[in-house]
Structure 1
């Protein structure tokens, strides 16, 4: 689509097409303004050169109309680009319903990837073509940055938080994955590949991994091992919030605030429950901070999400 532009990077996702269009518009506007200014400069330099015959009489001294027109025109053009860019920014950070959800953990100096079915990868990400992929990302140590140039997606992965990013690949192939945030001495080696496959090939790849337990299943085992089922289970005698159907709903807290029960909220509740006590319940949940790795947290979150919730948030 963009092969006619010299040196243009590969474009392999709908995200990239949208970003390309804005970037080309900005380049075009900048080139138009530069060309206009240069042509005006050359015109005046040639016409009013020392040996020129152009009359210097009756020079225009009142130029405010031209100045206002020039200023308003350029301001309007840049405001259009600003609104356009803001819409794209919101679109990129507000993911549509996902066909596949994948969990990614950044660690010095590798990307650890886990699929919903329990398949695991290191420095590689296999996804189907023409499907919306939602990545839930965490860091085990320092700030990393997940960047796939061909998709035009780049998102910082900050310790202590969960970050999400999405993309929809439009063609099959292997595309470079990089970390673009300096994360230590071996930062340059923190690279990988995104392998975009046809739907049948992707289905075969999932089966060939030989995984017997899904990520949610592993989370369920952790849920029981850490005693969570003793309070949040169906037969529990402890007065604790039910987790069935929780994901994606609005949660009213004791401090009067309201939170959406998304991935970040579930993580916060597990690690720091006293700060997110649900209204009407006693603050008796123990603090699991320091007891669970980022991978374990993602497994627990996957399990809680498997218990149901609002479909428009969960997908």
Structure 2
């Protein structure tokens, strides 16, 4: 990996942005520290007790100029850093539409990943280089954190919630994966690796893996097995929303508000169906809390996303 004992080179496009910001803050902090130290030593020596240095007030005009200039300079510097950091952070939550979608389920004490092709791994994740990767993550038990230092990427994975993030690896190699949130007795052993390959090698690796159903197909089977199709299928006699074309749409609710049918809304509609009731539909759906696991929810979400591309 070409790692140094002093510095771990960034291996993603986002990591390079983080490094630039880090070095900027380091430089600003060093400059401020040096200026303060030099002024402190200079004044301590020049105006020490018994020295003949003149001691008098600065002219009012000069004093105002110094105060206004110093305050304005630091304010503009702060606003610039705030803009840079906030734009970089917000960008981390808006993946490109063509990003490779990887589903991650964290549990004590492992990361289970699943590729779009259905290939599953434990504590490993194979990725193609120079390809945006979107992670959709959920926890089966406690809070975990998906941390890849070389990518400068870390996201907490919370129970009862879908967490997302994305990055674009731009170097091939094997990189460490850690859980950065204390999650129990074997927390220190919850490690893994990210293998970034050339796109040709990744395609060859994928073709050589045992192929299972992709998440959407698994979700379709689960949709029928759990009885969801009995109400939500187009031919159903029950007055329930048709899920085709649902994902990403604006949904009016019974209380007059409007929400977007994203992963959060669909997940809550499965586990807490009476929390946000769609307008025009009776609150008759039962809760599936404790009936479906986190992995089942991931499959159902993938299925609803896939039929979201169809026309209702």
TM-score, with length taken from structure 2: 0.91
Say if 1:133 and 1:166, in contact at 8 Å, map to a contact too: yes
Show the 5 A alignment for 1:102-141.
Answer: 102-141=102-141
Show the 5 A alignment for 1:1-315.
Answer: 7-48=6-47, 55-57=52-54, 59-62=56-59, 63-309=63-309
Q: Distance in 2 between matches of 1:278 and 1:306?
A: 21
Q: Distance in 1 between matches of 2:147 and 2:137?
A: 12
Cα displacement string for residues 25-57 of structure 1 (whole angstroms, at most 9, x for unaligned residues):
1111111111112222333344455797xx523
Indicate the SS of the match to 2:241. Answer: coil
1:131 Cα deviation after fit: 0.7
Gaps of 5+ in 2: none
Q: Distance in 2 between matches of 1:57 and 1:49?
A: 11
Indicate the SS of the match to 1:275. Answer: coil
The change in CA–CA distance for 1:265 and 1:309 in structure 2 (over 3 A counts) is farther
1:291 Cα deviation after fit: 0.5
1:285 Cα deviation after fit: 1.5
Say if 1:97 and 1:132, in contact at 8 Å, map to a contact too: no
Q: Distance in 1 between matches of 2:146 and 2:55?
A: 62
- Number of the residue aligned with 1:313: none
Say if 2:119 and 2:212, in contact at 8 Å, map to a contact too: no
The change in CA–CA distance for 1:204 and 1:6 in structure 2 (over 3 A counts) is closer
Q: Which moved more, 1:176-185 or 1:268-277?
A: 268-277
Say if 2:116 and 2:214, in contact at 8 Å, map to a contact too: yes
1:241 Cα deviation after fit: 0.8
Q: Distance in 2 between matches of 1:90 and 1:214?
A: 30
Indicate the SS of the match to 2:254. Answer: coil
Indicate the SS of the match to 1:96. Answer: coil
1:7 Cα deviation after fit: 2.4
Q: Distance in 2 between matches of 1:159 and 1:246?
A: 25
Indicate the SS of the match to 1:25. Answer: helix
Say if 1:248 and 1:309, in contact at 8 Å, map to a contact too: no
Tell me the matched-pair count.
Answer: 305
Cα displacement string for residues 184-226 of structure 1 (whole angstroms, at most 9, x for unaligned residues):
0110001111111111111122222211311111111100111
Say if 2:46 and 2:53, in contact at 8 Å, map to a contact too: no
Aligned-residue CA RMSD (Å): 2.1
Cα displacement string for residues 228-250 of structure 1 (whole angstroms, at most 9, x for unaligned residues):
11111122222211111111111
Indicate the SS of the match to 1:248. Answer: coil
Indicate the SS of the match to 1:230. Answer: helix
Runs of 4+ in 1 over 6 A off after TM superposition: none
The change in CA–CA distance for 1:209 and 1:48 in structure 2 (over 3 A counts) is same
Indicate the SS of the match to 2:147. Answer: strand
Indicate the SS of the match to 1:244. Answer: coil
Q: Distance in 2 between matches of 1:306 and 1:88?
A: 29
The change in CA–CA distance for 1:57 and 1:304 in structure 2 (over 3 A counts) is closer
Say if 1:102 and 1:116, in contact at 8 Å, map to a contact too: yes
Q: Distance in 1 between matches of 2:190 and 2:45?
A: 56
TM-score, with length taken from structure 1: 0.91
